[in-house]
Structure 1
């Protein structure tokens, strides 16, 4: 029996998981030897169904249900072009192999070579602000243009924006799933996943074919996102969020952690501020990330100040009055000296131009608006 079949069979046993799998490998040296010699002390900790499956394997050998499932799984993968990458194979990503109890096996659709590109993970809120989505796309595009692959989780919000930014820049991006690679979640992002594969990236999971997107799968998914990457960029996150957990996993894995600060009035900035307090690097541009990583790749191309929209004086005053904070219309009117009627018209024009967004409590610059503000106030 080869190592891949034995690994599939071991992981098929309910209650096995990565931790117990690696304990067995440490004791017996290989997956076939571990499957053959499952100790009673471990067997008794597994559910009754797993015990029954293993005993059938010991009595019937290759005719058992466990090995039949493993063979069928390999055939299903072959039929739809899914590659099985075993930890220890040359194709398995080096950084991921270094984390504690890495996934024994990866299911991959797409380009295996993408696993070995220098990667930056970009994560954040599913219900991100427009500014957060702008930042995710812009940072991902600039980093992809500098040669990094962008890794994220295919979720709505920041994840999808990061994948899209990388694709727009002609770069590679990797989507790590909390479901099987044949059951893409969320369904709204299925076209995005197909585009990732078609453009030299990859869709990855450690879960067997047919696995649904259950809540318990996502912490496992998150450790892969951080484990694949040289560093992780937190765009927007609440204090209690999966994105913040991913950032903390990255810190535990000795990865660089970066966070984009935001307004103190924005709840989705608080997770970023928490990570900065805990030691994450505050970043304002993608160049900050490249510099922190020791100039691993070329500096991303700087924004062209002349490429932005041409604005009237009253519009520029509103941009300057907003600054980096959430501001009420009363505060904006006071700082610009504009009457309510003309000011509302200016705010609508800027919102339609994608430079600001209306939130509960007032108005805030989008990522594009913030970049314009930096051009207006250099240094």
Structure 2
């Protein structure tokens, strides 16, 4: 039985424990594990080969580290077996390894595919066409609205949305994608027995039922800072393209974009205000050749989903037509931040009238008040 089979009740006898032991033995690392697998063919063969044979392939310290089973690794195997056994029909659990039938082909085409990963949820999501949506943790209201709207439109068009479960753009992307049939994949930087950030516990649980949560990290792994740049290669690798919604110049989202480009995948960016720090990363990507997108149809056209793109474009045109008769202040505000003086000039209203109406729009969730006495329209799509 393959290592990615769903487990209900007692975990079956298979080779997942050998994979965990190879990948989690202290000091081994992915590069050495790959060399050993190339030389011996399987984790079990690596472990049975003996230290002398392994020293022909890797450093003596690594060869000898695999000779004994450390107590903490023995405990991890027990914990993993219990985790697998606690799966249910609603939330199945899997371990997927290289060579497994469920291992996504898109990841195999990248420079550094994970040797194995843990999965919770709908394993069939790994075979779906995917688009990554990433961006700032300190997102603006407009950025959150864009992430959610793009994700929903892409999911409705049949594209599974991949993101990293972080606060900000990632969370909004997952929420939007869950509203469509193609759902979402969350690639996390912790073990699957933990959720980071904790505020996304309910979202992670929902994705485990309606989508898929993935991690290459063993159970018990805390949210260490270096884990997140590493998991970004999986987000980019699973996807036909990566859409950056908002990003500062030093944003981790730019790592995902770079990795996507290096893997030969498309990179998309949504432009924003030249005055917003959260737009500078996207503008930098566009200058470097990323495709500027204004709608989900733009993304679908580029990744060769033309029939879906046409349908989405029709929907978006209809939505714009419905919004043609709209609030005068919203029309004057447009989609860039503006201050009260600018709105007075555009509408001809008094400052008092505008303040009252802007407060009403803010309470309705249609306008957001930004630092510096600026106002910005919030999409409700």
What's the TM-score bracket when you normalise by the shorter of the two chains? Answer: 0.7 to 0.9
- Cα distance, 1:347 vs. partner? 2.0
Q: Is 1:244 aligned with 2:254? A: yes
For the Cα contact (< 8 Å) 2:370–2:376, is it kept in 1?
no
Mind listing any 5+ residue stretches in structure 2 that lack a counterpart? 1-12, 88-92
Residue 16 of structure 1, aligned match among 28, 37, 58: 28
- The 1-side partners of 2:37 and 2:175 are apart by 39
Choose the corresponding residue for 1:212, options 198, 222, 241. 222
Of 184, 188, 191, 2:202 maps to 191
How far apart, in 2, do the equivalents of 1:86 and 1:94 lie? 12
Q: Secondary structure at the match of 1:134?
A: helix
The corresponding residue for 1:138 is: 149
Render the CA deviation track for 1:100-132: whole Å, top value 9, x for unaligned. Answer: 121000100111101111111111111211111
Distance 1:190 1:296 in 2: 36
Does the aligned pair in 1 maintain the 2:35–2:58 contact within 8 Å? no
Residues 283 and 153 from structure 1, CA distance in 2 versus in 1: closer, same or farther, beyond 3 angstroms?
same
Superposed CA offset, 1:295-349 (max 9, x none): 26623233434544964xxx42x33443343222222222333221112122223
Deviation at 1:45, TM superposition (A): 5.7
- My pick for the range that moved more, 26-35 or 237-246, is 26-35
**Alpha-carbon deviation of 1:291?**
0.8
> Which one of 144, 166, 169 corresponds to residue 158 of structure 1?
169
RMSD of aligned alpha carbons = 2.5
Choose from 37, 40, 55 the match for 2:67: 55
TM-score by length of 2: 0.85
Which residue number in structure 2 is paired with residue 42 of structure 1? 58
Equivalent in 252, 273, 283 of residue 263 of structure 1: 273
Q: How many residues of Structure 1 are paired with residues of Structure 2 in the alignment?
A: 355
Does residue 228 (structure 1) correspond to residue 228 (structure 2)? The answer is: no
C-alpha separation between the residues in 1 aligned to 2:142 and 2:255?
22
Q: Cα gap change, 1:98/1:296 in structure 2, threshold over 3 Å: closer, same or farther? A: farther
- Secondary structure at the aligned position of 1:298 is classed as helix
- Whether the 8 Å contact between 2:335 and 2:377 is mirrored in structure 1 is no
Please give the alpha-carbon distance, in whole angstroms, between the structure 2 residues aligned to 1:148 and 1:127. Answer: 26
Structure 1 partner of 2:3: none
Confirm or deny: 8 A CA contact 1:149 1:174 kept in the other structure: yes
> Does the CA contact (< 8 Å) of 1:236 and 1:260 recur in 2?
yes
Please list every run of 5 or more consecutive structure 1 residues that lacks an aligned counterpart in the other structure: 58-63, 372-379
How do 1:106-125 residues align onto structure 2 when only pairs under 5 Å count? 106-125=117-136
Q: CA deviation at 1:368?
A: 1.6
TM-score by length of 1: 0.86
C-alpha distance in 1, partners of 2:363/2:150?
22
Inter-partner Cα distance in structure 2 for 1:297 and 1:182 = 40
Deviation of the 1:69 alpha carbon:
5.0
Deviation, 1:234, is: 0.6
